[in-house]
A and B are shown apart, each in its own frame.
Chain A
Amino acid sequence: MNIRTTRRGFLTGAAAAGAALVVGLKPNGSWAAAHGGAFVPNPFVRIDPDGTVTVILKHFEMGQGTSTGLTTLIAEEMDADWETIQIEFAPADTVTYMNTLMGVQGSGGSTAIANSFMQYREAGAAAKSLLVMAAAEEGGVDAGTVTAEKGTLSSGDNTASYGEAMAWVKEGATPNPVLKDPSQFTLIGTDHIPRKDSVAKTTGTATFAMDVMPEGVVYAVMQRSPKFGGTVVSFDDTAARAVPGVVDVKQTPMGVVVYGTNTWAAEQGRQALTVEWDFTNAETRSTSDMEAEYLAALDGEGLPARNDGDAAAALASAAKTIEAEFHFPFLAHAPMEPLNSVVQIADGKCQVWDGCQFHTVTQGAVGAVSGVGAENTSIETVYAGGSFGRRANFNSDYEVEATMAALALGDGRPVKLVWSREDDVRGGYYRPMVVHRVKAGVTAEGNLDAWHSSIATKSIFTGTPMGDAVVVNGVDVFSVEGVADTEYTIPNLAVDLRNMETPVSVLWWRSVGHSHSGYAMEVAMDMAAEAAGRDPVEFRQTLLANEPRTLAVLNMAAEKAGWGGDLPDGWGRGVAVHKSFNTRVAQVAEVSVTDGVVKIERIVAAVDLGVAVNPDVIRAQVEGAIGYGLGHAMRQKITFTDGEVDQSNFPDYEPLRISDMPKIEVHIVQSAEAPTGIGEPGLPPAAPAVANAIYAAMGKRVMRLPMVDDGIEFA
């Protein structure tokens, strides 16, 4: 290692001489020389000659905070400077950037931190070890004397920046990563370190796919079948082509595409288009027809998903029983950024710009549809304006549509296919509609002895490439999760499933099966507690005696919320606790009722997700999941009349607004367990906690979502 002044002088001269010379001035065979001036010790981190450390993010950023989380892991082990460390989204490269919990490159199931925790830390530690060893050799000191802090190495009086030290790393040097002991963490677990995406997103400079406008871009919108499963018979584009700015109209297998010099022109053109559809194989039922079929199916036999003891016999002999029938609508994800992507097919290559959630699938699908193959398909991932699950699906539907649009135009120009909000609300890939019946029985002593859940819904995974893995004997685990795998100890427990069919496409929606099962389970649990004559918290505590981590969040939420304490007149308190994605969350809700009008006042949440990497991001995710869950539980639904979606845009698919948002407190259990996810688990307990609070305040059990359809009026 050199004395700072000497080294500085050397580097200044090198930098002034230009990039090519910089490489030449470095020791022969240095890593940076071999990598075009940058030090790339592994696929997850790069150091530029100016010392800038850049983290390569294998997960996309839809707001869930992974760009901060993954960067924290590397910066921690590398002792990089948080202020200056940069982020960059990884290219599509399944082998290098695989989500080890999913087996593909992609994000979902609240797995980003869980699968990256060791990998990214090791990447950071490996990079640092190479810098330390190189600097020690250069300075003729023992590596053990070298310490690192905020991107600077020190040994005695000697210091070197990472930018200086990287030039000394020899090509082929072997890293020796040693992970920090948690007691040495300075970033992981810090209550609040600034998000890496905050500045860009508060100055309008963050690039979303909607903002990608390459040279020569053509804007496009697609007219899709108004009923799911309909196909184009013919279309008349005379009026559409007459719209100023419309440049072309083409038919694709997914619908009719109108191209324009801007999005608005394309949209005007689409409105002037007339298309004749074939609805032979389309969904033509109304929601009431579907509901009748679901109810009839529930009256018949189901496929067993869990069968402990003898629920039927225990119910027959129970001292008291409760029965409940819960209705859950289809729901659209409606991420704030309407779906869109830009695709260019030229010279045997395909370039995609996308808020890409499922790189492996998208690369394969776009490569196949474009005809250039996955190996010639590149994806540039940009910020995604929300997803909630929508941007990942086995068809890569919206990227494939953009590819078809580019292929149909056929002139090599990039095509940006934009969905309107109406396209999004009516576009399917919904959280499936569900009807869930519960019967529960308690003993004369007030113990929960029997539970029978009967569920009717459309499977998300059946018929997909992952179907074989998760559909067992006809039971899609995601249709029954949250009940069939409940942590409550119930001696006689039966769960059965009816698989319903519809051409309406369905998809995972923030928290997947838990988005409905958590509600049915936790509201029915309150009904059972009431039948048993027991306090809802105390009743659950007994049933969770074998699950100490879940019991602990329940106790924490109850204590922090002041469970059992006084409330103003007309207020009610409710509790719910639910494990999903291996994260435990309990919530206590408080509502007020004034002249029959409900206001959700406060939610107190307790979460256990193992090691809390970024506590402030975790709090934000829980706040957001509560809001997202409550908005849909209060007012949102997708319904059909004669196969057509009744809703179209935010005026009738009414999102949660600021005036609906309760005060939220999030408490995080201190834990040394391996981290689990937080994007989704905050959602399932929110709506049932509110429903239970509404019951406490006004004696009304809310059995149908959205709650406004069950007679609840919100302020």
Chain B
Amino acid sequence: MAITLNINGSAHEVDAPEDMPLLWAIRDVLGMTGTKFGCGVASCGACTVHVDGEPTRACQTPIGSVGEAAVTTIEGLSGPVAEAVQSAWQDLDVVQCGYCQSGQIMSAVGLLTENPKPDDQAIDDYMWGNVCRCATYTRIRAAIHEASSRMEA
């Protein structure tokens, strides 16, 4: 039974059970690999996508629950907030292994969309669910501040 998902602005047919997590539909069925598997239990944030603009853990989102909602993955990220975040990430060289960073960026865009001028505490609270085993956290904080000021400019 095919389910239609609206991902990055286009419709995708997924022939899979309704309880398949969105993560695996995006990755293994549709072959979009920017969204990562890290824990499968909503504990690391590597799989973060936007569902109607809200950062959402794709590993715990059954495809049957998505409906018409607009799903955005790192591949489809665009707009001034995304540009500010990605350019700040690049200029500050936040990444190490990089495996968590799609999820970090998706969450950071969610944060700055909701709160364009977060302080350290607000950053820590919002980004808490995104694990980085390489511990790039000081740079993540700095890059979010930097993106915030780029958005003002």
Interface residues in chain A, defined as those with a beta carbon under 8 Å from any beta carbon in chain B: 61-65, 192, 194-195, 197-208, 210-211, 213, 219, 244-245, 261-264, 334-338, 383-388, 418, 420-421, 616-617, 620-621, 623-628, 631, 649-651, 655-659, 661, 663-664
CB within 8 Å of A: which of B131-151? 131-141
B99 contacts A337, CB within 8 Å? yes
A264 contacts B34, CB within 8 Å? no
0/1 interface trace, chain B 7-31, chain A, CB 8 Å (1 if under): 0000000001100110010011101
Question: B66 → chain A, closest Cβ, in Å?
Answer: 15
Given contact pairs A195-B93, A263-B24, A658-B123, A386 touches B38 in the complex (Cβ within 8 A): no
Residue from A418, A655, A657 having most chain B Cβ neighbours under 10 A: A657
Contact of A651 among B34, B41, B86 (CB under 8 A): B41
**B89 to A, closest residue via Cβ:** A202
Is the C-beta of B74 less than 8 angstroms from some C-beta in chain A?
A: yes
A661 contacts B137, CB within 8 Å? yes
User: A-B pairs with CB below 8 Å: how many?
Assistant: 180
The A interface is mostly helix, strand or loop, or mixed, namely loop
**B73 to A, closest residue via Cβ:** A204
Question: A602 → chain B, closest Cβ, in Å?
Answer: 11
The B interface is mostly helix, strand or loop, or mixed, namely loop
**B90 to A, closest residue via Cβ:** A198
Please classify how large the interface on chain B is, using the bins under 10, 10 to 19, 20 to 34, 35 or more. Answer: 35 or more
Residue from B40, B75, B91, B100 having most chain A Cβ neighbours under 10 A: B40
A335 contacts B90, CB within 8 Å? no
A198 contacts B128, CB within 8 Å? no
CA distance A658 to B129 in the complex (A): 9
Question: B13 → chain A, closest Cβ, in Å?
Answer: 15
Given contact pairs A204-B33, A213-B28, A657-B128, A627 touches B20 in the complex (Cβ within 8 A): no
A210 contacts B33, CB within 8 Å? yes
B138 contacts A336, CB within 8 Å? no
Given contact pairs A63-B95, A194-B90, A211 touches B33 in the complex (Cβ within 8 A): yes
B98 contacts A623, CB within 8 Å? no
Residue from A202, A206, A219, A383 having most chain B Cβ neighbours under 10 A: A202
Instruction: Name the A residues within 8 Å of B132 (CB-CB).
Output: 336, 658
B33 contacts A207, CB within 8 Å? yes
Instruction: Name the B residues within 8 Å of A337 (CB-CB).
Output: 36, 38, 97, 99
**A659 to B, closest residue via Cβ:** B124
Known: A200-B98, A620-B136, A624-B136. 4 other contacts (CB 8 A): A202-B89, A263-B28, A420-B40, A663-B138
B137 contacts A658, CB within 8 Å? yes
B133 contacts A386, CB within 8 Å? yes
CA distance A211 to B36 in the complex (A): 9
Is the C-beta of B130 less than 8 angstroms from some C-beta in chain A?
A: yes
Question: B92 → chain A, closest Cβ, in Å?
Answer: 9
Q: Which 7 A-B pairs have the closest CB atoms?
A: A204-B34, A627-B135, A385-B99, A201-B98, A63-B97, A63-B96, A204-B74
Instruction: Name the A residues within 8 Å of B93 (CB-CB).
Output: 192, 194-195, 198, 616-617, 620
A623 contacts B28, CB within 8 Å? no
Instruction: Name the B residues within 8 Å of A626 (CB-CB).
Output: 135
Is the C-beta of B46 less than 8 angstroms from some C-beta in chain A?
A: yes
Question: B143 → chain A, closest Cβ, in Å?
Answer: 10
